[in-house]
Structures are given as C-alpha cells and as structure tokens.
Amino acid sequence: MFHVKHSQDETIAAIATPLGSGGVGVIRVSGEEAQATLITLFLPSNGTKIESHRMLHGWVIDPKTKDKVDEIMACLMLAPKSYTGEDVVEFYCHGGMAIVQKVLSLTLASGSRLAQRGEFTKRAFLNGKLDLAQAEAILDLVNTQSARGAGLAVRQLEGRLSAVVKELRQKLVSMLAKFEVRIDFPDDYPKTNYDAVIRKINAHTQVISDMLRDTQLRRVYRQGLATVIVGKPNVGKSCLLNALLGEDRAIVTDLPGTTRDSIEETININGLPLRIVDTAGLRHPRDKAEQFGVKRTEQELAAADLALVVIDASKQLDKLDRSIIKRAKGKQCIVILNKADLGCKVKLKGYKVSALFGKGIKELKQGLFLAVTNRRETAGNDSVAINERHAECLRGAERALLNAAECCRKGASVDLICIDLKDAIVSLGGVTGEQVSEEVINSIFENFCVGK
C-alpha cells in the first residue's frame, strides 16, 4: 500500500528515556548500521560475546580516543525480532544528561542520524510490526495518566480494535467479491437475494454503530452531556431545573422573561452527568437584556447534545411552541409537558410533569437516562478505546453501509451497491492503516516524542 520512503534506509538514533537525570538512560539505534555502531562503540567485558537478544556488559568507548565513556549494558536485537523490525541496538547507560548526550553524539558520529518524532514506531508500522491502531495505542499509553485509560490502550495494543475492524472488513470484501462476479458473469449465478444482503449489511452496520455509541457514551460519562432547557417564557423552565436539581437554584416568578441569562448546573442520573443549562424563554424580546438572552439561548441550543423542550401543557399548543420544537429538532430532543397539575390540553408525545410540585420528575430522570444510554449498559470492559480518527473512519463506513442497504432496498444496480461497499472497505482500512494516506500517517507519528 505504501511506498517505503528512501529515508528508511538510514540508520536512526535517539535518546529513548525522558531527558534529565535518572537511574538509567537509554539510547536506541535502528537500521542497517546498528550492529556496526555497536561494534565501533562498545567494548565488551571479558568473556562477553556479542550475540543477538542478550544483555551485554561492557563499556562505551570513544572510538577516536579509545577513552571509556561509561560502563553500560547493551542489547543487540537483529531483524526482524525487534521493535522496529530492523536491526536495533540499545545502550543502557547511567542516566546523567552529559553521559546520555555523549553516547548519542557518538552514535551520530558513527553514521546514524537523529530520529524524528515517532520514527521508531513509524518504522515498526511500515515494517508490519504493528498496525496503525496499535501504533496509536502506544501513543496513548505513553501519554495517558489514568489506569483505566492505560488499560484500554493496552487492549488496543493487543489488537482488539484491529481484530474487530479487520474481521468486518474481510466480510465486506467477500460480499463485494460475490457481487463483482455477478457483474462479470451475470448469467452464471442465481438472482441476488436482496433481503438476505440487506440483513447482512444491517448486521455489519450494527457492529459499527455499537462501537461508535460506546465511544460517545464514554465521552459523555467523562465530560457530561450538554443539555439545554428551552421553551417559551413562563412555561416553567427554571422551575424544572430546580426540580431536577432538588434545590432552588434558578429564580422562578410568575412574570414571563424572568431568566435573562443562561444558568448552568450539573445533575447526575445513575452516574450519568448532565450539564443542564436553563435559558431565557424564546419569544420576541421586549428589551435589550432579553434580546441578548434570546440570542444566547439560540447559541446554547446549537451547542447542546440534548434539548429539553418545555411546554405549558395547561394551555393550547401555539405557533411559538411549534417553532421551538422545530428548532430543537436535529439533535436529541425530549418534550416535557409541564404544569400537568393544571390539566393537559396538549396532545404531544412527551413527559407529563409538574415542576412546581415535583410530580413526574423521577420518571423524567429515568426517561432521560434511557434516552441517552439507549438502554445499554455503560461501556463495558470489553470495549476498546476509539480515538477521534478511528471514529471518523467508522462513521464513514457506517454511512457507506447505510447507503448500500438503501441501494439494495431500491433495487439499484449492483454496480452502485459495489461502490458503497468499496467505500466502506476503504473507511475501515483507515482504522488499521491498510488504506490510509501518507499524510495521515505523518500527522499521527508527529504526535509522538523523539525516541519512541
């Protein structure tokens, strides 16, 4: 898939441990000249034979002066059994900055060049030692602070994400192959059973959607779901916020236009954090402050993941209510029929509550939880970490498969279905790096540190 670039022929070197003093400092060398570098710079102690995959004891020497620079351990790992898949040498020196720098400069003087960020891992990828998702897992592992995050990254390093994605991709490839022979030899095969194909495609799409939802849900649990309460003035939005919070946070009055600016509070439903914003009622503004409030409300609405549209159920639904519902469409939207204690005149699907008397709030919370988590358990231990790049690839595959299913339903020509299947295959290939541009690869490895 890739052109191995010329620079891969060069031998690279870098300090692999963090800069600063430590117990040990590691200098890593990779490439054709690695073994020669070892022989030039390393003086084995008596009885030490230079063999691959052995810890060697001895000294680093300056080849010009023959001076001993440090007493060290070294390890030669001949290709292909090494991190990069090339010949690799690692020098384990005493961890002082001066020594580590000195040893690095000796390796550079004997024919290596300084490695770029992530270049060792990039070479490992280019040599098929790991796929792109695994390389990214290494990056996460190096950068992650939390034990749970590290656990997810390790699973990804084991190749769980890659395994699921590769299996799916393989299934699509064989499906595509079956279609393509039908294009080439239309008379030799029985007519395609579209219903069966649609069922299969839907099952594949489901696998992808589940992965994406797990990811989304993990984000929500970490950051909270941006939730906004919108509705006409005086329908009881602030009252609802207070009821959800279980305390009087927002000012409630019988005057329309009470809330002038947005208020944000976080509530927690079964561990699910919702960041709820109470907004100024939407209507034609009466004064400047209200005008700003209304504008702000529209921004909050645009930024939210979930909209709670409050309607005064004791009155007839009017044009303004409808237009607010319409504006909230396009994101997850839940209709709340408030003031149900005064009777319900509105025939809309929604949660009947009385924010003032705290009626129906428990049921509403339960409903919110289910709507957000989609009745599923929280991301379990089985899930893999998916970063934004993987999610984008998966979303592309999901879209293509939805299109493919749609084509089948419409009885479109096999060629069109094949195009969508191919798109899905390419998108999935992007996760593991089977089909991905050099630009993407470079941008990923640039996030590594030097020496990794």
Ligand X SMILES: Nc1nc2c(ncn2[C@@H]2O[C@H](COP(=O)(O)OP(=O)(O)OP(=O)(O)O)[C@@H](O)[C@H]2O)c(=O)[nH]1
Judged by the rule CB under 5 A, the positions of this chain that interact with Mg ion are 237-238, 258-259
Does residue number 350 form part of the binding site for ligand X (CB under 6 A)?
A: no
With CB under 5 to 8 Å by kind, the binding choice for 355 among Mg ion, ligand X, none is ligand X
Tell me whether residue 123 or residue 339 sits nearer to ligand X (CB atom): 339
CA distance 282 to 328: 12
Does residue number 236 form part of the binding site for ligand X (CB under 6 A)?
A: yes
For the CB of residue 235, give the shortest distance to Mg ion in the complex, in Å: 9
Does residue number 235 form part of the binding site for ligand X (CB under 6 A)?
A: yes
Binding site annotation covers 113? no
CA distance 384 to 432: 14
Question: According to CB under 6 A, which one of 122, 160, 237, 390 is a site residue for ligand X?
Answer: 237
- Beta-bridge mates of residue 73: 57, 92
Whether omega before 285 lies within 30 degrees of 0, making that bond cis, reads no
Interaction residues for ligand X, span 241-270 (CB under 6 A): 252-254, 256-259
Binding site annotation covers 341? yes
* Residue at shortest CB range from Mg ion: 259
Does residue number 215 form part of the binding site for ligand X (CB under 6 A)?
A: no
Tell me whether residue 188 or residue 254 sits nearer to Mg ion (CB atom): 254
Binding site annotation covers 5? no
Binding site annotation covers 28? yes
Binding site annotation covers 340? yes
Half-sphere exposure of 84 (CA within 13 A, CB side): 28
> Going along 349-408, which residue ranges are E strands?
351-352
Residue type for 65, please?
T
State how far Cα 385 lies from the chain centre. 7
CB-based contact 85:121 (threshold 8 Å): no
Tell me whether residue 32 or residue 341 sits nearer to ligand X (CB atom): 341
For the CB of residue 281, give the shortest distance to ligand X in the complex, in Å: 3
With CB under 5 to 8 Å by kind, the binding choice for 235 among ligand X, Mg ion, none is ligand X
Q: Please, which residues have CB within 8 angstroms of residue 46's CB and are 6 or more apart in sequence? A: none
Interaction residues for ligand X, span 352-391 (CB under 6 A): 354-356
CB-based contact 304:327 (threshold 8 Å): no
Binding site annotation covers 177? no
Nearest to 149 by CA among 137, 159, 135, 161: 137
Q: Please, which residues have CB within 8 angstroms of residue 365's CB and are 6 or more apart in sequence? A: 244, 269
Binding site annotation covers 178? no
Interacting span for ligand X (CB under 6 A) from 87-95, 181-189, 203-211, 334-342: 334-342
CA distance 28 to 293: 59
Instruction: Please report how the helices 414-432 and 132-143 are oriented relative to each other, as an axis angle in degrees rounded to 10.
Output: 40
Tell me whether residue 222 or residue 286 sits nearer to ligand X (CB atom): 286
CB-based contact 27:13 (threshold 8 Å): yes
Binding site annotation covers 394? no
Tell me whether residue 123 or residue 237 sits nearer to ligand X (CB atom): 237
Tell me whether residue 196 or residue 251 sits nearer to ligand X (CB atom): 251
Site string for ligand X, 79-108 (x = CB under 6 A): ------------------------------
Look-up of token digits 């900055």: 97
CA distance 181 to 425: 18
Q: Which residues bind ligand X (CB under 6 A)?
A: 231, 233-239, 252-254, 256-259, 280-281, 338-339, 341-342, 354-356
